[in-house]
Structure 1
Amino acid sequence: MKKYLYSLFIMFLLILTTGCTQEKVSSGQENTATHQKKAKNKEDTFNDQDKEKLEAELKQYFLGVEEAVKNKNYDEFMKFQNPDNPLFYREQARWIKAAILYGKIKEATLSIGLYDIQVISETQGFISFVVTMGFKNSEPTNNHIQYQIIKTADGWKINDLPFQSMNKDNITFYYLPENVREAEKYIEDTFQIVQFYKENYRWNPDHVDVKLFTNREALAASVPFPSLSGESGDMDGSFKTLLLKDNPERTFSIFAHELTHRMLMDFTNDNLTSLFQEGLATYMENGVKKENGKLVLDKKSLNKAIEKVLAACKHRYYSLETLINIDSYDDKDINVYAYGFLVTNFLIETEGFNKITKFEKLLKQSKYIDNVDEHKSDMMNKRTLSAFEKVYGNLDQLSAAFKEFYKLK
């Protein structure tokens, strides 16, 4: 998902999943305790007195991260990040830019607090933060996250979670050491989905980076966002997803959803508005299924999901122009996932997938807009509306057909 109005999204997931299965994930604090215990076991001759002294010094030093976020100071924040880990460094640059942007246009509050530091040697340790974030008219959410810290020639730096990595073809999969079995499974799923999209939609990405998180708090804190199950990032970052150990089918669906976003970014130069981004991602999330070891597009599953969404939306009608121009995840009345799904399914069933491809190619002619540009949403809406009308024609006529197709009122 490109962005998340998390309360609506969680409600929508409950509509589409069977029953009321609880997603079993550990808290950020539990994950922190696990890694601190591992750090304890790795201690060498570095004695307790040395540790206490260094930890006190580092706590004072890393308070600079709090100040940088508070003062919306990009350069100061980036001084604490490890440039020798380029993927993480790019993602942290995006993090602080997003934090600055939220205060400008989203009327959001965001702060970061140093929670704990534990060193395991004179050059390595762990640091924990609490990221507090809330949108207007909502209670702030506290999310814990723990990073590695390392001492470099330029001083102590934050160096991502303690991920390990594995590769398959053009996919790099990052996972925590205790999740190696899950990583082996889901890198195969990721490879299958990418191949399915390549064979059916001609997507051939240069490279795909995936980070597998074991708790929702750490995932949300790393974005930043109050709560989410997956995040597709930007065109040169990783996509991040939550491992639901008791619900592998749901985890697979999240992978299908987020990989669709990455495909659409490539196809449109990331110029596609939220309605169509979330629409096709939700379409694939509900349609791409495993059947006898192979992936298929399951129309029965799609039709069942459509019926549930229509019931949840109470068959309420909005014109296509209204839907294309909604303020995506901030609109409290229109669920962008639900209506995006309905519009996408309508277009595929009545106009065919080839027309969607033509629509995407037209958008790719426009330049990429940085994800943290405060005018990006407005520019994307204008570009999407213009390309859509060129490919699909008169909006009023198409809106009438959309209304009739689902018997909306």
Structure 2
Amino acid sequence: MMWKKRMIIGISMLILMLACPDSGLAKDICQEVKPSVCHAARQLAKQKEAAVNSRQLHLYLETIDPEKPMYLQEQKRWFQDAIQVIDPRSFHLHLRSVRPDGNRRLLFKMEQKYSVKGQVIEYQIPLTLRFTNKGWKDADLSFEQLGNDWITVYFTDPSLKTKAQIAYQTLSKAVPLLQQKFDWKPQKIEVKLYHSSKLFHHSVKPSLPRWAGGWHEAGQSIKFVANGLEPRLLASGLIHELVHQMVSDLTNDNAAYWLQEGAAMYYEANLMPELCVIHDAGHLKEDWTLSELESRQLEKLPAQEAHQYYLHSYVWYEKLMKKYGEQEFKKLFAHLKKFPYIDKESDQKRNELNLRTRDALSEIFHVSGR
């Protein structure tokens, strides 16, 4: 071993070290796989690192399994956020272990390290690599799963199996209810449950606020930190994220942020009344105007103000729902779907979505707001 500091390294070991600069740990890291497989895993990590530091999206996406479209979209958004948030050329990946995981699959643990405004952030991420016709590719975290081809629940730890069953049962009931209300025809529902909030945050994007416990963006899976949650809160939280997926589908991802959150909060409380979810908006000191909702950037707000944002969005959506009803909301969503898709996260296209939602409100509800 390198740490012994003795001049007893044989010629063969010296050659191996020259071929793999960090081969002091190579025996431990790669002892269960062929050298060629270990080399491919290292090259994958190096390509990811180089792609982020050089800001080349196409190089980064080349490392992702092309047969996992939702994960591909998630990683695209992760990359676009990372190059805006992390310090230039501070992103580093270090291979920590590689071992087989069945036919043409590997468990691939790597240490991810970068800095944000000088603060160093480190985390070990357990990935699965899958051998494709283009070589070894990143196929997402090492998940267990249950469900079927239409609704699939992935979970990061065996301790979450009961939570995963609750998630599957909840969505199996919630999806048909939303289909009936809005003629929604989702192609696939994917849910990822996390036992660790750190793993969840590292998986979504570097800029995700610490208070966030769930996530969905267009073309992605539903993600949720499930550890420690009672079943009722898990179920209502998943409905919240499911509604985000529905609204994105029905509007071509053109709904304003407040409209998305208002709809999610409304159906979180009303879609399955047996969950007994109540949003107490009675203590709000004053109603925010639409202009005030539009001007606030939810993902930049501290936790308490973010909670206020959710409640005010809910109040607006509930008020419009009581006055116009679901059939008119279907027309509102259809109007928004006429606008072209903007290939950005909701937060990054906030101004455009505000304008498009204003147009739809004026056209369908004849509401101008303040």
* TM-score under structure 1 length normalisation: 0.69
Q: Is structure 2 residue 59 aligned with structure 1 residue 76?
A: yes
Greater Rg over alpha carbons, structure: 2
**Does the residue aligned with 2:193 lie in a helix, a strand or coil?**
strand
The match for 1:40 is none
Change (3 A) 1:173 1:70: same
**Residue 336 of structure 1: CA displacement?**
3.0
The more displaced of 250-259 and 315-324 is 315-324
Instruction: From 110, 118, 124, give the equivalent of 2:97.
Output: 118
Answer 1 or 2: higher relative contact order, Cα 8 Å, separation at least 6. 1
Separation of aligned partners in 2, 1:395 and 1:117: 56
**Residue 208 of structure 1: CA displacement?**
1.4
Separation of aligned partners in 2, 1:351 and 1:133: 49
Q: Is structure 2 residue 294 aligned with structure 1 residue 321?
A: no
Change (3 A) 1:317 1:183: closer
**Does the residue aligned with 2:128 lie in a helix, a strand or coil?**
strand
Structure 1 unaligned segments of length 5 or more: list them: 1-45, 400-409
**1:316 maps to amino acid:** E
Structure 2 matches for 1:5-404, cutoff 5 A? Answer: 51=31, 58-59=41-42, 62-100=45-83, 103=84, 108-109=85-86, 112-121=91-100, 124-130=106-112, 144-150=124-130, 154-168=134-148, 170-176=150-156, 178=158, 179-224=160-205, 225-227=208-210, 228-235=212-219, 237-289=220-272, 291=274, 301-302=277-278, 305-307=280-282, 311=283, 313=284, 315-330=285-300, 335-372=308-345, 376-395=349-368, 399=370
**1:284 maps to amino acid:** Y
**Residue 60 of structure 1: CA displacement?**
6.9
Given that 1:127 and 1:149 are in contact with CA atoms closer than 8 Å, whether structure 2 keeps it comes out as: no
The more displaced of 214-223 and 169-178 is 169-178
What is the number of residues matched between the two proteins? 330
**Does the residue aligned with 2:64 lie in a helix, a strand or coil?**
coil
Separation of aligned partners in 1, 2:44 and 2:186: 40
**2:65 maps to amino acid:** N
Given that 1:141 and 1:226 are in contact with CA atoms closer than 8 Å, whether structure 2 keeps it comes out as: no
Separation of aligned partners in 2, 1:164 and 1:49: 23
Given that 2:108 and 2:126 are in contact with CA atoms closer than 8 Å, whether structure 1 keeps it comes out as: yes
In angstroms, what is the RMSD of aligned CA positions? 3.5
Change (3 A) 1:379 1:246: closer
Given that 2:166 and 2:235 are in contact with CA atoms closer than 8 Å, whether structure 1 keeps it comes out as: no
**2:82 maps to amino acid:** A
Separation of aligned partners in 1, 2:232 and 2:55: 40
Change (3 A) 1:288 1:145: farther
**2:197 maps to amino acid:** R
Change (3 A) 1:160 1:286: same
The more displaced of 60-69 and 270-279 is 60-69
**1:278 maps to amino acid:** E
Separation of aligned partners in 1, 2:135 and 2:125: 22
Deviations 1:167-195, CA, capped at 9 Å, x for gaps: 34731222346143332232111111112
Given that 1:143 and 1:220 are in contact with CA atoms closer than 8 Å, whether structure 2 keeps it comes out as: no
The more displaced of 58-67 and 339-348 is 58-67
Separation of aligned partners in 1, 2:200 and 2:114: 13
Deviations 1:250-299, CA, capped at 9 Å, x for gaps: 211210100010111122111000011011112222334453xxx7xx6x
Change (3 A) 1:169 1:290: farther
Change (3 A) 1:226 1:112: farther
**Residue 317 of structure 1: CA displacement?**
4.0
The match for 1:3 is none
Separation of aligned partners in 2, 1:341 and 1:372: 21
Change (3 A) 1:328 1:221: same
The match for 2:20 is none
**Residue 150 of structure 1: CA displacement?**
4.5
Query: Identity, % of aligned pairs?
Result: 25
**1:207 maps to amino acid:** K
The more displaced of 72-81 and 89-98 is 89-98
**2:292 maps to amino acid:** T
Given that 1:232 and 1:261 are in contact with CA atoms closer than 8 Å, whether structure 2 keeps it comes out as: yes
Deviations 1:118-145, CA, capped at 9 Å, x for gaps: 12249733222436575x8x97765543
The match for 2:11 is none
Separation of aligned partners in 2, 1:219 and 1:289: 26
Given that 2:111 and 2:122 are in contact with CA atoms closer than 8 Å, whether structure 1 keeps it comes out as: no
Change (3 A) 1:263 1:153: closer
